[in-house]
A and B are shown apart, each in its own frame.
Chain A
Amino acid sequence: MSDGLGSMTLLAVALPVDSFNVVVLMATYVLVALGLHYSFGLLGIVNLAHGEFLLLGAYTVVAVQQATGSVVLGLVLAPVVAGLVGLVVERVVLRGLHERVLDTLLATFGVSVVVRQGLQVLFTANPQQVNDPIGGSVRLAGLNIPWWRAVVVASTIAAVVATALTIRRTSLGLRWRATVRNPELAETLGIVTTRSRAALFGVGSGLAGLTGALLAPLNTLTPQFGTRFLVPAFLVVILGVPGSLGGLVVSGMVLGGALGIMQFQMSSITAQMLVIVLAIVGIRFRDRLVGNWRGRTPRRQRARTADTHP
């Protein structure tokens, strides 16, 4: 609990309060949870290495900036690097462990330690800075909007829309949904489910890497950078119902928005504590308040089925 509180405090401190901060925090909460939507929400892997995939993305930007001076190139490469590492982790560590919750938990914890320590060896524990690739801000509707934060918000919207369209509207997404919901039947209908699972984990890792890269210019980076996002990401996914993208967006906006608003009224540490309480209460009473929308049969279909089969 204290870890979670500390993590959320760091997350909030990383994004200084201003009028636009509420929106940025809402987007950040959604974005840090989006990669976890793939590995935990869809695949059911309790992915304790999620924060380290963010870290990989952030340090990819650091490395590219140091080598070439280009932050933008780092931003492009970050999801690729994190995604490829995710594919390797899925193939070498996780394949064959799905449905073994405790084993995946231990395995991903091990991955997180290896990645964190590996980056510490490569980059030392000294804080690293990533330059803001745009800089400056714009006044809009009386709000002071830093350009890079606007990019973070826009990227979050784009990532959510791309995820929704891929999963709901493409044949790739159809294969993913089939793999997640009935793997045995999906396999016998010709879907190579091992490939689908690897792709899901790889895309989730890549999205985490992109998240780390986008947040890098707003933070001072150390090898502990990723850990601070782990608890908020899990809270958002669990509150939103694992596997539900719509739920994730709503819960991310609720928790991030609540944090942003409360930070105006009280100390940051109290706001963090209340957000965690809000998440726990929300998880406890979620189904009673809004229904378990994943398992709920639409009213129209329920009526049609009942008519035909009394």
Chain B
Amino acid sequence: MTAALELEAVSAGYGRITVVRDVFLEAPMGQITCLLGRNGAGKTTLLRAIMGLLPRTGTVRVAGQDTRGWPGSRVNHAGVAWVPQEDGVIPGLTIAEHFTIASRFTSGVPADEILDWFPVLGERMHQVAHTLSGGERKMLGIAVAMTTRPRLVLLDEPTEGVAPVVVAKLVEVIRAISQQAAVLLVEQNLDTAIATAQRAYVLEQGTVVETGDIQALHASGVLEARLAV
């Protein structure tokens, strides 16, 4: 299976503080790969480093291309979409304007097709995005990311702070996304992760301490032990 994303000995951090150390990781096409770890383990830092938002060492390859020195815009143009944990919308811009930005730089999936997943957004295209609820902002972030027709989607805790009915919808959409792209998912809720992903990487203090099939890791109790559930 083709790896949409390959990390080799990646280290990253903020200033002189190294948060993520020597990470090796692969995210294959057509699969959901989950990054698990306690708060502060370095999951978000790793996603930001992949996206070119943080200085890093080591090698990040997207569809075989080394992205060393690339700014976020170039990483995006290579087919990577990022849905951040917070600030996933642009204040002052309408929902429609978010789609305009996202579709301008690629062939762009028609917004109508994406909005079939989230009809609530389609009803409010001219609403300013920062006035949406938390769950709707998450939906918008995912919908906009998918408009760029990515081959790799980085999802940073998409279900955090979202009502259970919305979580179910998001999980359904994430599964649908994985049919056409690789997904690297950061998820705090272990049950959601197990129900959604095929593979898992467990981070502790910035390093990968477990990796493998998520069901197998769950069955052996490794995940629960590592995450102290």
Q: Does residue A175 face the partner (Cβ distance < 8 Å to B)?
A: yes
Q: When the two chains form their complex, are residues A187 and B87 in contact, meaning their CB atoms are under 8 A apart?
A: no
Docked pose: A293 CA to B76 CA in angstroms: 33
- Is A14 part of the contact surface with B, judged by Cβ < 8 Å? no
In the bound assembly, the distance between CA atoms of A229 and B92 in angstroms comes to 31
Are A190 and B77 in touch, CB under 8 angstroms?
Answer: yes
Query: Chain B residue with minimal CB distance to A192?
Result: B73
Is the CB of A2 closer than 8 A to any CB of chain B? no
In the assembled complex, the Cα of A305 lies from the Cα of B128 at a distance in Å of 11
A185-B84, A187-B53, A305-B131 are contacts. A177–B90 as well, Cβ < 8 Å? yes
* Nearest Cβ on chain A to B125's Cβ, whole angstroms: 13
Number of B positions contacting A (CB below 8 A) = 34
Q: Which of B59-97 contact A (CB under 8 A)?
A: 71-73, 75-77, 81-82, 84, 87-93, 97
Tell me if A288 counts as interface (CB < 8 A to partner B).
no
- Residues 157-198 (chain A) with a chain B CB within 8 angstroms: 171, 174-175, 177-178, 181-182, 184-194
- Chain B residues near A298 (CB-CB < 8 A): 128, 131
In the complex, are the beta carbons of A302 and B90 less than 8 A apart?
no
Asked if residues B76 and A181 are in contact (CB atoms below 8 Å), the reply is no
Give Cα distance in the complex from A304 to B89, angstroms: 18
**If the complex has contacts A190-B73, A191-B73, A191-B101, are A178 and B131 also in contact, measured as CB distance less than 8 A?**
no
Q: From B77, B104, B131, give the contact of A302 (CB < 8 A).
A: B131
B72, B93, B131: most-surrounded residue (chain A CB, <10 A): B72
A308 beta carbon closer than 8 Å to chain B: yes
A168 to B106 alpha-carbon distance, docked (Å)? 22
B33 at the interface (CB under 8 A from A): no
User: Does chain A have a CB within 8 A of B14?
Assistant: no
Which of A182, A190, A301 is in CB contact (< 8 Å) with B102?
A190
Q: For B132, list chain A residues within 8 Å (CB).
A: 305
Contacts of B93 in A (CB 8 A): 174, 177-178, 181
Do A188 and B131 touch across chains, with their CB atoms under 8 A apart? no
**Within the complex, which residue of A188, A301, A308, A309 is in contact with B73, where a contact is CB–CB below 8 Å?**
A188
The answer to whether B76 touches A190 (Cβ under 8 A) is yes
- A68 lies within 8 A of chain B by Cβ: no
| Residue on A nearest B147 in the bound complex, by CB | A189
B164 to chain A, nearest CB (A): 14
Contacts of B51 in A (CB 8 A): 188
A265 on the B face (CB < 8 A): no
Task: Name B's A-contacting residues (CB within 8 A).
Answer: 51, 53, 71-73, 75-77, 81-82, 84, 87-93, 97, 100-102, 104-106, 120, 124, 127-128, 131-133, 144, 148
Question: Interface residues, chain A, CB within 8 Å of chain B?
Answer: 171, 174-175, 177-178, 181-182, 184-194, 297-298, 301-302, 304-305, 308-309
| Pairs of residues from A and B, 7 with the lowest C-beta to C-beta distance, nearest first | A190-B105, A187-B72, A309-B133, A182-B90, A190-B76, A188-B72, A188-B82
